[in-house]
Amino acid sequence: MEHILLRHRDIPDINTINVYKKSGGFAAFKNAVTKMKPGEVTEVVKNSGLRGRGGAGFPTGMKWAFIDNKNWPHYVVANADESEPGTFKDREIMEGNPFQFLEGVAIASYAVGANVAYIYLRGEFWQVAAFLDEKISEMEKAGFLGEKLFGTDYSLKIYTHLGAGAYICGEETALLESIEGKRGQPRVRPPFPPSYGLYGKPTIVNNVETLTNVPLILANGADWYKSMGTADSAGVKIFSLSGRVRKPGNYELPFGTTFRDLIYKYGGGVQDSRSVKAIMPAGASSSLILVDDDKVLDTPMDYASVRTIGGDLGSASVIVIDDTVSIDWVINKTIHFFRHESCGKCTTCREGTYWMSHLTERIHEGKGSTADVDLLLNVAKQMQGKCLCALGEFSTMAVVTGIERFRKDFDKAVKA
């Protein structure tokens, strides 16, 4: 099947403006601006069933429709902070197929009435930002960005903004704080960005992959998009496959592809022909899914189905853990990550990740006791439902499911 997002794998040089134009590029944006009302654009996206690809899976068209039309100006912000351990899809999109992403930003901006859009990239994507700046200026020269586009009254500017190394800035309100020149700490929600966003103005924040879907949805129609994937999860998804597999990488596949196909058919199977012990389908923020029978591997990867095996699809960053790995090591890794990235604003997360890291370290070093394992589980459960944002909440997922589903590994670690 031809790619819809990773089109650079089928069409050489699609990251140059002429090839992109020849491949039908910018026709959807031009058509939207010259022939459609903003609300009609939102309606097509709504009908397509497109859901946010950053992890939460919120219906994109519905989010756009939430924009507050009594308060102006409006902003669109593309979330290119990609920092979840196991996620590496947005960078490939921006480097390989940048114009389709930028056209998605432009269409979203028109749909919600924004004349300025920002792309927030993690600071490490310094080279990607410089590359996008070039592409943006090519679009300006070609008349696809700037004042009075296509002879209408609609104007649009797109700017890149670099973060500086903070996972928390992937959380949309922390991201907005960061653009405002502050520390990236999440806001109390509600109000949500569509009513109170950047500079207190209505703002739509969408993930890079989400926006990259939009031009082809507009070009080919909502029904075309819905014909792929499952009833619950329409369309295609880029699955970032990492860990103990032979061929890690990005695989663009319809929702509903099974874990088995991703790992064995596309990923070449497990390294050293070992067996899969656990899967983290949403990066470090995942529950640890226990793979103890064929049913788990045959589960279709869509939002609803992954829930039935005790996980969440999230950003579809599938980390494969084989039977040589002990789970106490895994959660020691994830907790050190969250402890480092906790922004410190809410006590639950700041203190919780700190104390959990001491316990996971002690257990992993073989200095822990059974009581430490119970205490760790207790701390994680105490945190749940009490954190200001999802970071704190997610930090507990691997701990709770790790201990509950792989208790033997912990018993071994404290005895060793």
Site residues (CB under 8 A) for other proteins?
A: 82-88, 90-91, 122-127, 130, 159, 161-167, 178-184, 199, 240-244, 248-250, 284, 317, 319-321, 325, 330, 333-334, 337, 340-341, 343
Closest separation in Å from C-beta 8 to other proteins: 16
What single DSSP character describes residue 169? G
112 versus 321: smaller Cβ distance to other proteins? 321
Distance between CA atoms of residues 131 and 390, nearest Å: 31
Q: Are 316 and 239 in contact (CB under 8 A)?
A: yes
In the bound state with other proteins, the residue whose beta carbon lies nearer, of 216 and 400, is: 400
Nearest partner of 24 among 2, 51, 50, 48, judged by Cα? 2
Is 112 buried (19+), middle (13-18) or exposed (0-12) by CB count in 10 A? Answer: buried
d(CA 211, CA 106): 9
**In the complex, what is the shortest distance from the CB of residue 111 to other proteins, in angstroms, rounded to a whole number?**
22
CB of 235 to other proteins, least distance (A): 23
Q: Residue 90 corresponds to which tokens in the numbers above?
A: 């947005």
Q: What is the DSSP letter of 262?
A: I
The kind and range of the H/E element at 100 are helix 98-112
Q: Is the Cβ of residue 65 or residue 325 nearer to other proteins in the bound state? A: 325
Question: Taking a C-beta distance cutoff of 8 angstroms, is the pair 316, 238 a contact?
Answer: yes
Tell me the C-alpha distance between 413 and 176, whole Å.
42
Spatial CB neighbours of 407, under 8 Å, sequence gap ≥ 6 = 373
User: Cβ of residue 340: shortest distance to other proteins, in angstroms?
Assistant: 6
Q: Tokens at residue 349, please?
A: 């997360």
Q: 288 or 414, CB closer to other proteins?
A: 288
Closest CA to 67 of 120, 110, 121, 118: 110
Give every CB contact of residue 3 below 8 A, 6+ residues apart in sequence. Answer: 9, 10, 252
CB of 26 to other proteins, least distance (A): 23
Contacts of 224 (CB under 8 A, 6+ apart): 217
Q: Which is nearer to other proteins, 340 or 412 (CB)?
A: 340
- Decide whether 25 or 322 has the Cβ nearer to other proteins: 322
Q: How far is the CB of 68 from other proteins (least distance, A)?
A: 18
**CB nearer other proteins, residue 45 or residue 400:** 400
340: Cβ contacts below 8 Å, ≥ 6 apart: none
Minimum separation from the CB atom of position 39 to other proteins (A)? 26
The least distance separating other proteins from the CB of residue 122, rounded to whole angstroms, comes to: 7
Nearer to other proteins, 44 or 119 (CB): 119
CA dihedral of residues 356, 360, 363, 369 (deg, nearest 10): 20
Q: Closest approach of Cβ 280 to other proteins, in Å?
A: 8
Of the two residues 17 and 162, which places its CB atom closer to other proteins in the complex? 162
| Bridge partner list, 205 | 77
Rounded to the nearest whole angstrom, what is the least distance from the CB of residue 396 to other proteins in the complex?
Answer: 16
Give the number of other Cβ atoms within 10 Å of residue 188's Cβ.
10
Tokens of 55: 């992890």
Residue matched to tokens 């480097």? 95
Identity of the residue, 184 or 300, whose beta carbon is nearer to other proteins in the bound complex:
184
Q: How far is the CB of 231 from other proteins (least distance, A)?
A: 31
Q: How many CB atoms lie within 10 A of CB 62?
A: 15
Alpha carbon distance 388, 185 (integer Å): 10
Coil/strand/helix, residue 119:
strand
340 vs 386 by CB, closer to other proteins: 340
